[in-house]
Each structure stands twice: as C-alpha cells, then as structure tokens.
Amino acid sequence: KGIERGMVDLEAEWMPIDMARHGEKPASALKVEGWISNRRAAIARILQQRDLLGRPLKSIEVEPAGGISLRIQTLGLVYLGADEALLNQQFKTIAQLTQSLPPILRGTSNEGLDLSDPSQPELKLRPKPKPTTPAKVSNR
C-alpha cells in the first residue's frame, strides 16, 4: 500500500492522519516508522517506558520482519530485535549504557548498538577516516 502517514497513541493504536487531526496535539515529536499491527504491544511498551531510555527518544523503527530499532539522541541507533520477552532487560541495559558509555562512543560516533542479546551488547564503531595524503607528483 505504500507509506501512509498517521499517528499512534500510548497504546500504539494507529490512526490515519486525517482522523488524528481532530484529536489532541501529539505529546512528542517521536516518530514510529514501519508500524505493523503484530508489533503494537512492543511499540506500546516502548512508548510507555520511553523516559527510561534516555533523552530524547527520536524514533521507533519497525522492520517488515518485526525487528525493532530505536534512535536515541544520546546513544544513536539501538537494535532490539524481535523478541518481546527481552524488552525489560533491554530497557535496563539502555539505561546502564546511557550512564556508563563514554561520550566519545555515543550517538553519531558509532554505527549502532545491537541489544538483540542484552546480556552481550555489541557496539558497532565507525571506521576511522583514512588520512588524506597529497597525491605524489612524478618528475618524469
């Protein structure tokens, strides 16, 4: 069907944008991308626990296969995966990392944090940019 714009409430109930315009203004600018009905409960739990996840939670991204990622300003992209049973442990891990991860490893300095197994978080670092060397000039 393509991209359809709308809004979700705290229970992650989706509503079309024209219907949403008749209600209250959104409480935040948080985006939910890729909303699918079978992930509604997980999205609702994330929305209800968002204050534990660091500030601000910018987006919840749902893959067609059901994997969920969060984009958090302080940590960058955080991949949770599709196992809803791990959400509480993942929330605790995010809270711990928000407090303990050195600023140099947060946000835009990394390619993402994989918490699909919260007992073994994986931080994917960006490769260091290669120093640019001046082109050698040949005297031939």
The DSSP 8-state label assigned to residue 74 in this structure reads T
For residue 16, the surrounding DSSP H or E stretch is strand 14-16
Whether residue 79 is predicted with pLDDT greater than 90 in this model: the reply is: yes
Q: Where are the domains of the chain?
A: 6-125
Residue 93, pLDDT above cutoff 80: yes
Q: Give residue 6's pLDDT.
A: 73
In this predicted structure, what is the pLDDT of residue 30?
A: 80
The string of pLDDT tens digits covering residues 33-60 is 888 888 889 989 998 888 777 668 888 9
State yes or no: pLDDT of 112 exceeds 70. yes
The residues, any chain, with a CB within 8 Å of residue 81's CB and separated by 6 or more, are 67, 68, 115, 116
Domain 6-125: which topology? Rossmann fold (3.40.50)
